[in-house]
Amino acid sequence: MKLALGVVEKTLRGNKTRREGDAMRIATKQRCKGLVSYAGTALLALSLAGTVAESRVTNEAPARAADNSQGHVKTRTACLTAHVPGDPVPISVTGTLYFHRHYTAADPVLLLLHGLASNRGVWDGGGAGDESPRFARLLADRGYVVIAIDRPGYGDSPYPNANVLTVGNAILMEHEIVGEIRSGSYTVARAGDDDETPPRCPAGDQAAFGSPTVVLIGHSSGGGQAQNYTTRFHDISATVAIGSHGATGGQAHTIVDILNRVVGPQINAGSQFPIFFRPGPMGVSTDCLSLLFYQPGAEPEVYNAICSNEAVATYTAPVREYVGPPVIPSTHDGVIAHQVGATPVLLVFPEQDAVVPGPGNPFGDPDLRTKEIDFWNNNCACDVTSLVVPNTGHGAMFHLSAPTLVDEIDSWLTSRGLGPGRGHNSRDDDSGDPDPH
């Protein structure tokens, strides 16, 4: 269900506009040549990759995932590779490929990057499954080809030496993965007719073709890495960062508390892959609830599943993503140096984000959202759009607003000439070749 935008528009500093009222506020600044960088540094300077947004999506009558025609979406296992700098042995990177019909090399591929202490499952409802909006399937249902990966060191893309899995190396490996998607030098596998278990990588057949149009969509620190990527590599067609802030620094108290109380002691004890959330009473982690969810904007079945003690025990991250060296060049310096170039950037802020709080937030934190927006608007000579999603917490993909957010991402990509080649039409779901590989 797509909710209408507000109709009142105000000019903001020349070429930025705001749509207000009961709708999403959107601010756009054209031709930002700024380089985006991400300063993932010491423990207490950790930045969950931030972005700028001044738009508001109405969530008055939120649609549930079940109301969206995601049953037409098909999945395959995508097997890619990446190299840690200095290690000639490649990491096998596992992804899930989502599509709803035959596609060609002309169709854009959306590469989804999860955040810290996470995995690719967050884009598909996580442990909540069908109870949650399934973000990747919503995108695929709109006609996009989507690949969600477990970043190296996470989930089904293991690597034993966490000390070399820094944010800087992660961005370099993502560049390698983008190159494989563009050239078609990866494999795609499907489960057998009687086996619903996804194949384990490496497996499958060579991709039939490359896809030169790749869009990075990252959440939290994954969004920060996407921003930094945009300032140093220009082989992608657009960047979307959700719930991220990296250009201006600063930390909200909720994440600082978790880092000091939960993560810090594990690092001091020598843990290579610390867990992020402490288990809580009644089988649900209150740390997880406070950081990821605005509970009035999500279903209890969803946040209780995502934040169950069983689930949070698996939310680990490589230690060097917590305490690694700063990324050089930083996103901050890249924006100022006007190195974003022609790549359009969409910065999405959940309104009730405990990681990137906005003005008048209930956490008593400084207004990091406006600070980030102002930095981009004042320093990036690029095509940058900002969006604020109401009634939504940091884990935006799990909230009731997710289908509307997908609609807005789709509209923004389409306005930049990056929409799917053919929209979804339920009348011909069975036509064409449903398996292009």
Q: What is the DSSP letter of 50?
A: B
Query: Does residue 429 fall inside a structural domain?
Result: no
Q: Give the count of beta carbons closer than 10 Å to the beta carbon of residue 106.
A: 11
| Pairwise CA distance, residues 288 & 308, whole Å | 9
In a domain, 49, yes or no: yes
pLDDT of residue 35: 26
Parent domain of 319: 8-419
The enclosing domain of 261 has a CATH number of 3.40.50.1820
223-279 tens-digit pLDDT: 999 999 999 999 999 999 999 998 887 889 999 999 999 999 999 999 999 999 999
Q: What does the alpha-carbon distance between residue 69 and residue 99 come to, in Å, rounded to a whole number?
A: 13
Q: What is the pLDDT of residue 163?
A: 95
Report the b/e string of 342-355 with b at 16+ CB within 10 A.
Answer: ebbbbbbbbbbbbb
pLDDT at residue 50, rounded to an integer = 30
With a cut of 70, which residues of the chain have pLDDT below it?
A: 1-71, 192-195, 422-437
Q: Is 74 a member of any domain?
A: yes
Identify whether 428 is part of a domain. Answer: no
Note whether residue 427 is domain-resident. no
Give alpha helix (H) positions in 259-330: 264-268, 286-292, 300-306, 309-312, 319-323
pLDDT for 26 equals 58
In a domain, 436, yes or no: no
pLDDT of 197: 78
Instruction: Report the predicted TM-score, pTM, of the whole model to 2 decimal places.
Output: 0.86
**Structural domains in the chain (count):** 1
DSSP per residue, 206-254: E-SS--S-EEEEEETHHHHHHHHHHHH----SEEEEES-B-SS----HH
